[in-house]
Amino acid sequence: MKDIIDYATTTSRHYPLLLTAIISSTLTLGHTSDVQAGATFKIDDTKWVSLGAGLRSSFTANENAAPSGNSYSNNFNLDNVRLYLNGQIHKYLKVEVNTECQTCGSGGEVRVLDVIGKIEVNPYVNLWVGRMLVPAERREMNGPFYSSVYNIYANGTPFEPADQNLTIKSDGTSAGSFGRDDGATIWGAALAGRLQYAFGFFRGLRGGANNDDNILYAQRVAYNFWEVEKNPGYYTSGTYYGTGGDILTLGVANIYQQQGVGTLANPANFRGTSVDVLLEKVLPNNGVVTVNGEYKNYGVDGNTLPIPFAPGAAGSGTFGLFQGNAYDVSAMYLFPSKIGYGKIQPYGRYVNNMPVHGADQDVFEGGMNYIIDGHNARVSLSYQRYLAAELNGMTVGFQWQI
């Protein structure tokens, strides 16, 4: 992933892609993992603790991305190293703590990813408080471990406010980190679980343009037309490899913060709206077709000055976000028969980012996943074609989780 940064710097037309690659490769978005796996230790009839871990590592090569600028780069990357801790202290009270390796390529530091206190009483209304994922589109709720494509962030659509900085700061350059923020989320489901919702209230941008200390509001609502997706809380998955039955789910998400972008002198309001769909069909031969689609519309108002799509440097008090439209479509087929230890899943993907201030950037990606144990063990091989720049890339990704 990291060598995509070098590619992006070769042309200003791909500046939004550059930011996507930078943030993706350095903090690799901490989205969540399903921490129901791992070892569980029972304390008594109501108390238990579970432990788990996850690792993602890749090799990437991109055209004209070597230091000389004249040859392919060759990089080995440690993309994610996570530790999961979950526990229940009462029938209705739970806690979740997850960590991530930040700046893994430079030695790495263990950072807090999630710290969530959970009040879970019934399927209809539940409350999480602490540091957690901001409700958004499916890609955000999948996280890297539960997405259907390894390069879901490096070659994807623009990020949300909470993804725009490595660390949480109060100098006008941060609205969270790793896709997380401090706040509270009310979530649940109705109509036999088919209608799922999450309404969140978060700090959002700290300082800078947000001089009035406005709250960031985030909502996600999804409807399951076929089988009901089953995930912890308001989390999602990009595929179930056929184990969830036939799935057709439509989701709509919206994020809004008054004075959520810009500078103290030139603040503006930010709105990010997205629509996503997951279709997964188990065929009569037990093969599985999976289609993911996502559309985003990001808007900034209250400031006539163009706000650059770039998180501000430390102390600058500048917070910029993408403005415009973007979409991401992928389709894949999981063959029913095993070859060796796993199953083959070829796929194709197309992403187009259309900023208001700048040229479009589109990427075609084709590849193959080798599925050994669902999201817990898989190997991915992919080819990327950056169409506007006419450059090529390749990724081999490994994922393990317990």
pLDDT tens digits, one per residue of 143-155: 999 999 999 998 9
Residue where the block lists tokens 């879901």: 152
Separation between Cα atoms, residue 329 and residue 307, nearest integer Å: 28
Number of domains in the chain: 1
Closest CA to 350 of 369, 366, 367, 371: 366
Write down the pLDDT at residue 49.
Answer: 96
Rounded to a whole number of angstroms, the CA Rg of the chain reads 20
Return the pLDDT at 307. 59
**Containing structural domain, residue 27:** 3-401
Phi, psi of 7 (to 5 degrees): -60, -45
Could you write out the DSSP letters of every residue in 71-133?
A: S---EEEEEEEEEEEEEEEETTEEEEEEEEEETGGGT-EEEEEEEEEEEE-SSS-EEEEEEEE
Q: Can you give the pLDDT at residue 346?
A: 98
Q: Do 173 and 316 touch, CB atoms closer than 8 A?
A: yes
- Domain holding 142: CATH number? 2.40.160.10
CA angle 162, 165, 171 (to 5 degrees): 100
Q: Output the pLDDT for position 310.
A: 55
Instruction: Give the other-Cβ count within 10 Å of 284's Cβ.
Output: 6
Number of Cβ within a 10 Å radius of residue 40:
14
Q: Which amino acid is at 54?
A: G
pLDDT, residue 167, reads 84
- Look at residue 136 in the predicted model and tell me its pLDDT: 97
**pLDDT value of residue 17:** 37
Q: Residues 332-366, buried b or exposed e (16+ Cβ, 10 A)?
A: bebeeeeeeebbebebebbbbbbbeebebbbbebe
d(Cα 132, Cα 342) in Å, to the nearest integer?
A: 33
Q: Which of 325, 2, 347, 362 is nearest to 154 (CA)?
A: 2
Q: What does the CA dihedral 237, 241, 242, 245 come to, rounded to 10 degrees?
A: -10
**Residues of the chain with confidence (pLDDT) below 50:** 1-36
What pLDDT score does 29 carry? Answer: 43
